[in-house]
Structure 1
Amino acid sequence: MSFFSRIFSQDNPNEAMQPLYQAIVAEGRRLAWYEQGEVPDSIDGRFDMIAAIFSLVVIRLEDEREQAQNLAWLTEIFIRDMDGQIRQIGISDVVVGKHVGRMMGALGGRMGAYREALQGKEDLNEALIRNLYRGNSPGQSAVEFVATKIRLFETQLTELSSADIISGQLPVAAS
């Protein structure tokens, strides 16, 4: 492919990450998170659950240098989806950028908290209460359910190859 063909191509290279993003969203929308885990079934709750799954996938792949571009593309898809979701609920064009910026900041904070918790530097239950439940603990059994499933998902991710993850073959943690 020539230089000009690549520059002016209509192909979107981040589309290769679409199956992974769809798998992340599918996992984040599993009913068990909302029923047994009592994650609020709201716009914010769904964002927080998808952000948790997204974070675990990024944490798994970020140590592999060859995945840097794929992670950038995955993040672009996430941003594009969040932008579309915000517009769909009626937020005006003037403030969409601010909302997306806040969401990306929230994602970064959550990713840091989950990374610390999974490394044993912070309590996972506390990180979940603060980030997934936004400080409103639904009760010990619900938090324990989510913490157990998050740990299971993270463990199963480490057992998968990067190629499997990139292709969207994620484990099913919440069932």
Structure 2
Amino acid sequence: MGLFGLFRRKPHERQGFELYTAAVQAARHPAFFAGLGVPDTLDGRFDLVALHVGLLIRRLHRDADPRGPALAQAVFDAMFADMDFNLREMGVGDMSIARRVKNMWEAFHGRAQAYEAALAAGDRAGLAAALARNVWRGEQPAEAPAPRRLADFAFTADAALAAQGLEAMSRGVAQFPAPEEEAA
């Protein structure tokens, strides 16, 4: 590889960051915090971003077009590049960045697997249980209104993303539905 190969962008890198940005913006909707009582903490925000990115990656992986999985990888790469950057901005020492990012990757991977299994099975109760365990750290039972409503939102968002064409996503455009505004 020549010197200029070091500066070459990865395929779909820009679109991956744009799709990731759409997921982050959707995850920041105030109704998640005010209406559903998701903790407005680093952990709570991470969990909402993980849910939205997981839904987006699920959508992209299900596409028969080979660009789907490539875009999914680009979204994943964008997420963890952003996590690394944010940890550095928060002043986390260089020596512990890799360990923290690895822990975040493992947390994301576990959540994505649990959410994927529940979504694929059409198991709203199972998804509510996984969300109660992760988002509220077990402080809300799965039967409580907030985890059930967040599970309902995830199913709605999953269907909305499935209905969006890959052409728009390959340009970095994804539309997430807004969560319900009513109080929990």
TM over 0.5: yes
C-alpha distance 81-8 of structure 1, shift in aligned 2 (>3 A) = closer
2:173 counterpart (151, 168, 173):
168
Q: Check if 1:113 corresponds to 2:114.
A: yes
**Alignment check: 8 A CA contact 1:22 1:168 kept:** no
C-alpha distance 144-8 of structure 1, shift in aligned 2 (>3 A) = closer
Structure 2 Cα separation of the partners of residues 164 and 10 of structure 1: 24
TM-score normalized by structure 2?
0.84
Report the equivalent of 1:30. Answer: 29
Kindly, what percent of the aligned residue pairs are identical? 27
**Alignment check: 8 A CA contact 1:152 1:173 kept:** no
Q: What's the CA shift for 1:142?
A: 1.6
Report the equivalent of 1:18. Answer: 17
**Aligned-partner residue type, residue 39 of structure 1:** V
- Of the structure 1 ranges 77-86 and 65-74, higher mean CA displacement relative to structure 2 is found in 65-74
- Of the structure 1 ranges 113-122 and 88-97, higher mean CA displacement relative to structure 2 is found in 113-122
**Alignment check: 8 A CA contact 2:17 2:74 kept:** no
Structure 1 Cα separation of the partners of residues 2 and 145 of structure 2: 58
Report the equivalent of 1:74. Answer: 75
Name structure 2 gaps, 5 residues minimum: none
C-alpha distance 95-5 of structure 1, shift in aligned 2 (>3 A) = closer
Structure 1 Cα separation of the partners of residues 106 and 89 of structure 2: 21
Structure 2 Cα separation of the partners of residues 58 and 20 of structure 1: 10
C-alpha distance 134-168 of structure 1, shift in aligned 2 (>3 A) = farther
Three-state SS of the structure 1 residue aligned to 2:139 is coil
Matches within 5 A, 1:74-93: 74-93=75-94
**Alignment check: 8 A CA contact 2:160 2:176 kept:** yes
**Alignment check: 8 A CA contact 1:28 1:50 kept:** yes
- Of the structure 1 ranges 164-173 and 87-96, higher mean CA displacement relative to structure 2 is found in 164-173
Q: What's the CA shift for 1:75?
A: 1.3
**Number of matched residues?**
173
**Alignment check: 8 A CA contact 1:52 1:111 kept:** yes
Report the equivalent of 2:129. Answer: 126
Q: Check if 1:136 corresponds to 2:139.
A: yes
Structure 1 Cα separation of the partners of residues 173 and 3 of structure 2: 29
**Aligned-partner residue type, residue 136 of structure 2:** Y
**Alignment check: 8 A CA contact 2:60 2:71 kept:** no
C-alpha distance 96-142 of structure 1, shift in aligned 2 (>3 A) = same
Structure 1 Cα separation of the partners of residues 5 and 72 of structure 2: 21
Structure 2 Cα separation of the partners of residues 90 and 4 of structure 1: 34
C-alpha distance 44-125 of structure 1, shift in aligned 2 (>3 A) = same
Structure 1 Cα separation of the partners of residues 134 and 167 of structure 2: 29
